[in-house]
Amino acid sequence: MAKNVNEQRLLNRFLELVQIDSETGHEEEIGEALKRLFGGLGLTVIEDDAKAKTGHGANNLFCELPATPGCENRDPIFFTAHMDTVVPGKGVRPRVDDDGYVRSDGTTILGSDDKAGLAVMLETVEILREQNIPHGPVQFIITVGEEAGLVGARAMDRSMIKAKYGFALDSEGKVGDICTAAPTQAKIHVAVIGKSAHAGVNPEDGISAIQVAARAIARMPLGRIDAETTANIGRFAGGGPTNIVCERVDIDAEARSLVPEKLNRQVKAMREAFESAAAEFGAKVEFASEIIYGGYKYDESDEVVRVAMDAVRRLGLEPRLFHSGGGSDANIFNGLGVPTVNLAIGYENIHTTKEQMPIRALVQSTELAVEIIRTVAEKA
């Protein structure tokens, strides 16, 4: 079991990181800081060209820790976290409260999603070095643009990932919880095109795109479809003066499922709802859908899950496997053929100004990362 986590050093590092502005798309400063911090610990830091591909403020970072002597043949593994945050994330002023939590001053997010993961990575390297813990090759992969639709991970070059499998440090829940499944997501854009006319003089000569779209949305399945499938309308835009029959409406939507066949059925149902409503009114529909990331699903028979569960138990905790309805960079790594599960690291109320981070969870997450590395190193 990992011992002697330097809690104050870990906390100080977390506080340092959350005070570096890094709203998604503006990762310049945090990217430079991370190169300095990981490089200062003796790791080789390699950048890709994600900045040019995505327009975000930095590149993805691949920080490489070579194996200790005698462990060169152990499975190479990786840990991943993202350097960007949601808004409002500028000028974060963290405070350490007496109840063992770190919070912002309430005007911004805290940024523990995912600077808690970054702090855990750095402290893990410190512990490995200080305690001379044998380990195989480890990569720490840090992405940009996760909060903007996983764009940094989607821009990665597969050849830069040298690990056999890995672990994302980026999930809500108690330390010891392991996300073993997440859905495929389809993004959908629909344009409903009607016909304009004067709303008071000759409305019967027009076709209201708003009415057509509303009819379609009312008849399609939305929300929680079943235990594995969801769908949502996120944006409905169109119209103008009330004396003109609305000619065009644009709709942005999504559908997700842990089962690809169910996702296909849901997207088909949404398309058919728009097309049938348009046919009734004599309108036109332009419907486009795109899979923006694939899903994954593992169980206790998979090596990446077994390693995580063994490490959790070595800490005296009981692992809990769960399925998520959300996506993360883990989806992209799995889509690239690198088995990855997402580990809960204890942050709470993320994406809100009430976000909070238990200091104890920072410590436990570091202990877990060290135990995973130790578990892999001890495998025959």
Q: Which domains does the chain have, with CATH numbers?
A: 7-182+296-378 (3.40.630.10), 193-293 (3.30.70.360)
Instruction: Say which residue the tokens 């690239």 belong to.
Output: 336
**Strand bridging mode 340-344 / 177-182:** antiparallel
Which residue from 367, 315, 340 is spatially nearest to 180, judged by alpha carbons?
Answer: 340
Per DSSP, the three-state class of 341 is: strand
The predicted structure's pLDDT at residue 379: 86
In whole angstroms, give the CA distance from residue 340 to residue 354.
29
Phi, psi of 289 (to 5 degrees): -130, 150
Q: What is the pTM of this model?
A: 0.93
**C-alpha to C-alpha distance for 257 and 317, rounded to whole angstroms:** 30
Buried b (16+ CB within 10 A) or exposed e, 192-229: bbbbbbeeeeeeeebbbbbbbbebbbeebebeebeebb
DSSP 150: S
The list of the chain residues with pLDDT below 70 reads: 1-3, 380
C-alpha 317/C-alpha 375 separation (Å) is 15
Look at the chain and count its residues: 380
DSSP H/E element including 359: helix 359-378
pLDDT of residue 380: 64
156 and 340 Cβ atoms separated by less than 8 Å = no
Which two tokens mark 91? 């000028």
Residue 186 contacts residue 253 (beta carbons within 8 Å)? no
Q: What residues act catalytically? A: 84, 146
25 burial (CB, 10 Å; 0-12 / 13-18 / 19+) is: middle
